[in-house]
Amino acid sequence: MAGNELKLSCRFAGDMTLVARSDSGHWTIMDVAESVGGNGGAMAPFEHLFAALAGCTGSDVLYVMRKKRIVIDDLRIEIVAHRVDTHPKIADKIHIHFIFVGVDIPAVAAEKAIELSQTKYCSVTAMIKATCEITTSFEILTPSEARAQFASKK
């Protein structure tokens, strides 16, 4: 990205698959479900929006926690988006759940990091919340609690 401008190109890659490359030089692949002519071989474009949301807010939260010198062993972000029934099937409600893993992570610090991301830093949140309700929650787990919880989700 040069200055305040981001450039991205997207091209057809066969069937219903598209590949996009940003001016950072990184690529991403998008596909759609078989039911609409795709192969289901990659995240759909709409799913990329939520991956971007998780990545944006997650990197903000990690940055704020590191600035506070709080050690995070793992951070998981789970998003549930509710879509309307009619086209365009936009999301009208999004819930972001943060799972912090570590020893002695102060809840007040986790809450403040999420708040700063959601209200000040995350550009993806800022764009989405103009048309969609976004709520957040979090939990803090010790490493052993996380192993038990994440193993049960497999």
- pTM of the complete model beyond 0.85: yes
**Is the previous residue joined to 106 through a cis bond, with omega within 30 degrees of 0?**
no
28-65 pLDDT, tens digit per residue, is 999 999 999 999 999 999 999 999 999 999 999 999 99
Do residues 25 and 68 touch, judged by C-beta distance below 8 A? Answer: no
78-126 pLDDT, tens digit per residue, is 999 999 999 999 999 999 999 999 999 999 999 999 999 999 999 999 9
Chain center to CA of 112: 18
DSSP 92-152: EEEEEEEEEESSS--HHHHHHHHHHIIIII-HHHHHHTTTSEEEEEEEEE-HHHHHHHHHH
Tokens of 113: 């990091």
